[in-house]
Structure 1
Amino acid sequence: MSPRIGFYHLQRSSLDQALPRLLERALQAGHRIVVMAGSAERVAYLDSLLWTWLPDSWLPHGRADEGDAALQPICLTYQDENPNAADVLMLTDGVVSEQVADFTRCFNLFDGNDPEALQKARTLWKDWQGRGWSLIYYQQGERGGWEEKARTKAPSEGEN
């Protein structure tokens, strides 16, 4: 089965603002999530962010390098791994996973104000489209909400 992949083009808000909201929604939908970042330093930063992003909110999470990763509903890592048996993968910092097909859903979050990140996302879109995966491109609207701008279907999905 092909993963459902969303490309999230950040324009109105930063990753720091968008990631916690997307994680919150995924948790509410009953998913387990692994967040892949570009380095150990970025994992530490995201860990701190998730502890403090809203005073009245808490996102249960942990880091893959701190043990008990399998118990975490949200696991942060900089390696291409799935330590908490997640069904959702969130890619940040331009990282790419070789395990995308092992997840039911993948979020690729990229900074649309960074020309290099934008080009990387375009290249990845073409690569994953060539694999026949179902892709959806979301762009932030004027108010920061997500608007679907493009969609491809996996060959097995047919036309609806």
Structure 2
Amino acid sequence: MQVDFYQLAGTPIEKVVPQLATKVAETGERLLIVAAEDRLLDLLDEALWTHEAASFLPHGKAGAGSDAEQVVLLSDEPAAGNAARFVMLADGQWRDEALGFDRVFYLFDEAMLDDARSAWRSLMAKDSVEPRYWKQDHGRWRQGP
């Protein structure tokens, strides 16, 4: 399984999440976006509706009805009501339940750097996990060392 660490630096999360979610949807996969705080889920919900005027990214919030039909589902827990095999941990909090998915997008900022390093070390010890680190370089994501 693959775990992609995305260190947010300079670009707000409400810009990053729709970009990554769109790329996942373009592959035909479903995505579960997890954040513990309702305020962050609301911000991401709004961002997914408004990120590009020319396109629509089907999504919904868990528990609002038709979870199973959503390409992208926002939730406060890592339970894929939409049968997603990809999960995005958008609040910087690592959750071991994410290891039950095929791919994890773990987003963190400077404030969560120590937690991300701890998660990296833990995942490096697992044979079945391939952690990868991504950082921004002039507005584009580049895989780092």
Q: TM-score, normalised by structure 1?
A: 0.84
* Aligned-pair identity (%): 31
Q: Secondary structure at the match of 2:23?
A: helix
Partner of 1:65: 63
Match of 1:136 among 124, 132, 144: 132
1:115-157 alpha-carbon deviations (Å, 9 max, x no partner)? x31111111111111223111111111x21111113xxxxxxx
Unaligned runs of 5+ in 1: 151-160
For the residues of structure 2 that align with 1:81 and 1:28, how far apart are their CA atoms? 22
Residue 36 of structure 1, CA deviation? 0.3
For the residues of structure 2 that align with 1:40 and 1:17, how far apart are their CA atoms? 18
For the residues of structure 2 that align with 1:45 and 1:66, how far apart are their CA atoms? 16
Partner of 1:86: 84
Q: Secondary structure at the match of 2:77?
A: coil
C-alpha contact 1:38 1:93 (8 A) present in aligned 2: yes
C-alpha contact 1:9 1:110 (8 A) present in aligned 2: yes
CA RMSD of aligned residues (A): 1.3
For the residues of structure 1 that align with 2:63 and 2:43, how far apart are their CA atoms? 14
For the residues of structure 2 that align with 1:95 and 1:70, how far apart are their CA atoms? 25
For the residues of structure 2 that align with 1:74 and 1:62, how far apart are their CA atoms? 7
Q: TM-score, normalised by structure 2?
A: 0.92
For the residues of structure 1 that align with 2:69 and 2:100, how far apart are their CA atoms? 19
Partner of 1:103: 101
- Aligned pair count reads 144
Structure 1 ranges of 4+ moved more than 3 A: none
